[in-house]
Amino acid sequence: QKEVEQNSGPLSVPEGAIASLNCTYSDRGSQSFFWYRQYSGKSPELIMSIYSNGDKEDGRFTAQLNKASQYVSLLIRDSQPSDSATYLCAVNLGGGADGLTFGKGTHLIIQP
């Protein structure tokens, strides 16, 4: 049974600070990892993808992957009120066109 765990929050962060979101997964065979942002009532939008151990940076976002610890994180620098949303961690076992297994998401609130 593939599982993806996230702290549901809410996680409250002051504007301008760094928001740190964490995710663990149970299937050691997972190969592809994604962070999606979901605003209330909307569908998920892709923030970051990561496939190799280490850090991957894209603008204010940094994804970190540690396959040995089965741990993925997302850092959001210079947090803005518009970053307030639910952040979903998703994993793909890999090897082609597989569906994603999602965590329940972390509700992030950026306080102005």
Using CB under 8 A, list all residues that contact another protein. Answer: 32, 34, 36, 42-46, 49, 51, 88, 90, 92, 94, 96-105
Residue among 8 and 78 whose Cβ is closer to another protein: 8
10: preceding bond cis by omega (within 30 degrees): yes
How many CB atoms within 10 Å of residue 90? 23
Residue among 16 and 29 whose Cβ is closer to another protein: 29
In the bound complex, what is the minimum distance in angstroms from residue 46's beta carbon to another protein? 6
In the bound complex, what is the minimum distance in angstroms from residue 32's beta carbon to another protein? 5
Q: Identify the three-state secondary structure at position 82.
A: helix
Contacts of 41 by beta carbon, 8 Å cutoff, 6+ apart: none
